[in-house]
Amino acid sequence: MNKLVRDKNPLVHCLTNYVTVNDVANAILAVGGSPIMADDIDEVAEIVSIANAVVVNIGTLNERTINSMEKAVVAANLRSIPAILDPVGVGVSTLRNKTVERFLRTVHFTAIRGNLSEMAYCAGKNAKARGVDASEEDSEHSAIEIAQTVAEKYSCIAIITGKEDFVSDGEHLVIIKNGVPAMKKITGTGCMLSGILGAYLGACEDKFSAVVNAVTSMGIAGEIAFEKYYGTGSLRVGIIDALSRIDDDIISKRGKILL
Amino acid sequence: MNKLVRDKNPLVHCLTNYVTVNDVANAILAVGGSPIMADDIDEVAEIVSIANAVVVNIGTLNERTINSMEKAVVAANLRSIPAILDPVGVGVSTLRNKTVERFLRTVHFTAIRGNLSEMAYCAGKNAKARGVDASEEDSEHSAIEIAQTVAEKYSCIAIITGKEDFVSDGEHLVIIKNGVPAMKKITGTGCMLSGILGAYLGACEDKFSAVVNAVTSMGIAGEIAFEKYYGTGSLRVGIIDALSRIDDDIISKRGKILL
Amino acid sequence: MNKLVRDKNPLVHCLTNYVTVNDVANAILAVGGSPIMADDIDEVAEIVSIANAVVVNIGTLNERTINSMEKAVVAANLRSIPAILDPVGVGVSTLRNKTVERFLRTVHFTAIRGNLSEMAYCAGKNAKARGVDASEEDSEHSAIEIAQTVAEKYSCIAIITGKEDFVSDGEHLVIIKNGVPAMKKITGTGCMLSGILGAYLGACEDKFSAVVNAVTSMGIAGEIAFEKYYGTGSLRVGIIDALSRIDDDIISKRGKILL
């Protein structure tokens, strides 16, 4: 499926945080997409009109960008192109909670990706996020339940990332066991994955497989980069390197996908 | 001419996008300049008063920063220090089009750098940009014509970057054949070049040669980094490495400059 | 003391500039903290309520973020958690001067870190900053005097970084001779250190030792990265690598701390 992404070269419109935005852009380019970052309310609808997918990431949200994000997803919904939500840090502040609740009420997302506590919040469970890190009590059981709840509640593909990744569309569930713990020691692996989801979903018809491939790509890239581990700075560089070399052969050989 | 940049250590005031801003700052430092990023309207004129050049990049423009950009270039014009415009994505949205048209009407730029479709827009041709990537039909003929039109229309040095780079001041034309296609697979090579243009133009009297040297430096840095190519993450790091090691000797040896 | 940081894994709330924010986040993670970046005035107090330290960096300040910064430090003061100020470029513009003066009047910082000219401004001396770089006339004598003045005037730990680093709490003075000059050729080493100060101060009871350890960690990381110097791009990556491998053993073996 990565070949499809590289062939179609989808344009991915990102409204994302300023912490990891450069990594998100380079990750999208690495897997074969083209990123465009634009967040002014006066241009987002026009940008969406030429885009193949929209990625919304609330990592450093503010009043100005929240309105732009909503307008962009409204435009994406009208055009029936995929929209992806990364509810960074939801559960941590009323502003994040209200913003996510508003988005989930007013617009539709093709996919929602977060860690367990963020997704628990979306599912309506009383989980408490601590910063942007996943809580450590991730039990496989609750992850499956939460992924299914979010998928059903919002008619979307729900992705919970952590030690293991869970993908549910409400009917099907896939667990992906790629990745390494060291990925948590760099900022942005989650944001990068959300960007990559935009590239895969923007290029591929089969949305569920697109998501599974994107999640697996990111995990494998982490593993490959970790083979030469020397520290977290070069790990980050190595992940982009690995993403830029990934192909369907590597994905099928190294993917640890449990149906 | 790079020695001049390293000796003078020009202060380059950048009002630039948040996607590639870190690479722009590090690229300016790498060639011998000092970057300062500041975009609040209450301080830009004061910052310009101590700067040697101003770089305006509209990659993630918004109402607030557009006004700051204009004010900064007005101040640069009053002080007769070089101002550089990078019209990222012009042609893609009305906001970008209006902003660039406004800038081109109200202030003067020493140099304008963009890909073929962005520069075609500045020239008044009906080109259609796709995101921030150059269109593939770049024909040498139209590039030369567009570079000359922009240069004459706005009394500036026009730089079109792509597979080949075109530099025109309306009278002279130079084609630079350095660089590698892989540079398109990382975000920010264009933005970095615009930053480097600020450093070279801020340090050197001969503006046309300064531009040619800056463009050539960037292309050579891409080539050197590509010699050890392993992926796009390390390519990006390698470009900054190569810029930090560049000197006039390397430029004269490796430069493919066609007069 | 680094072990304490890794064990406690303090949450460091950063209101920082968009130029170096990614490096700041990765540096905090590398030494064992968890970064959270949030700058909307509607959420900063809530974020502070779960944080272990707050870092304020005015590198790309604007009216919106200035108010958020003040509110965050007010909240930090109420909770008695450490707040760190990085007065980037103070002395360069009236906006920066007024902002720093306002902060120093309305809130309390546990630590203030800057280069000599920035700290001279805070001390009330008429130093003139040039961009964000330290002036070259750094004399050890004036650095000691300025560090002591800032420490006494604002009842804080004052840190002046440069060729040598000076740490004063008004009573004690420590000079740290780690680090390499090449660190000045990349953007963000100062910002990263301010972030790391947040991690150390957020985890450790002995504030003065925490600061000395943080400053020493950064200098040693620069030295280790410089041992494999190839250019400034990989130097930056190498510094994060080295920070992620640092431990108390390395600090005690390589630290050049003069009491």
Residue A83 is inside which H or E element, if any?
strand A83-86
Q: Residue A11, Cα to own-chain centre: how many angstroms?
A: 16
CB-count burial class (<10 Å; 0-12, 13-18, 19+) for A226: middle
Write down the pTM of the prediction: 0.95
The SS3 assignment for B54 reads: strand
Q: What is the pLDDT of residues A135-149, one digit of tens each?
A: 544 477 899 999 999
pLDDT of residue B127: 52
pLDDT class of A134 with cuts at 50, 70, 90? low
Q: Alpha-carbon distance B86 to C85, whole Å?
A: 33
Q: Which residues make Cβ contacts (< 8 Å) with residue C169, sequence separation at least 6?
A: C151, C156, C157, C158, C207, C208
CB-count burial class (<10 Å; 0-12, 13-18, 19+) for A90: buried
∠ Cα B17 A53 B229 (to 5°)? 60
For B123, the token pair is 């020239």
For C233, the closest of B36, B50, B237 (CB atoms) is B237
Q: Which chains pack against C, by 3+ Cβ pairs within 8 A?
A: A, B
Which amino acid, one-letter code, is at A109?
Answer: F
For B92, the closest of A39, A47, A237 (CB atoms) is A47
Q: Alpha-carbon distance C120 to C101, whole Å?
A: 13
Residue B53's nearest CA partner among B81, B87, B24 is B81
For C187, the closest of B26, B38, B241 (CB atoms) is B26
pLDDT of residue A127: 52
Residue C13 · residue C54 · CB < 8 Å? yes
Cβ count within 10 A of residue A177: 13
Nearest CA in chain C to A96: C43
Q: What is the pLDDT of residues C211-236, one digit of tens each?
A: 999 999 999 999 999 999 999 999 99
Instruction: Inform me whether the pLDDT recorded for A128 exceeds 60.
Output: no
**What number is the average pLDDT over the span C14-34?**
98
pLDDT of residue A207: 98
pLDDT of residue A125: 79
Q: What is the pLDDT of residues B199-232, one digit of tens each?
A: 999 999 999 999 999 999 999 999 999 999 999 9
Chain C interface disruption, residue of A65, A69, A92, A192, most C CBs within 10 A: A92
For residue A187, list chain C residues with Cβ-Cβ distance below 8 A.
22, 25-26, 29, 35
pLDDT of residue A176: 98
Give this complex's ipTM.
0.94
The residue behind tokens 């066991």 is: A177
Ranges of beta strands (E only) in C9-103 are 11-15, 34-37, 53-57, 83-86
A228 interfaces chain B, CB cutoff of 8 Å: no
Q: Alpha-carbon distance C155 to C86, whole Å?
A: 16
Cβ count within 10 A of residue A141: 8
- pLDDT tens per residue, chain B (259 residues)? 999 999 999 999 999 999 999 999 999 999 999 999 999 999 999 999 999 999 999 999 999 999 999 999 999 999 999 999 999 999 999 999 999 999 999 999 999 999 999 999 999 976 544 444 555 454 778 999 999 999 999 999 999 999 999 999 999 999 999 999 999 999 999 999 999 999 999 999 999 999 999 999 999 999 999 999 999 999 999 999 999 999 999 999 999 999 8
Q: How much helix, strand and coil, in percent to the nearest 5, is found in chain C?
A: 55, 15, 35
Residue percentage of chain C with pLDDT more than 90:
93
CA distances from A23 to A18, A120, A141, A240, C28 (A): 10, 26, 32, 8, 17
pLDDT of residue B74: 98
Chain B nearest CA to C19, separation (Å): 5
More confident residue, C105 or B129: C105
pLDDT of residue A130: 45
Chain B nearest CA to C229, separation (Å): 9
Residue A161's nearest CA partner among A87, A104, A241, A249 is A87
Residue C72 is inside which H or E element, if any?
helix C63-79
pLDDT of residue B139: 72
Cβ count within 10 A of residue B228: 12
Instruction: Inform me whether the pLDDT recorded for C129 exceeds 50.
Output: no
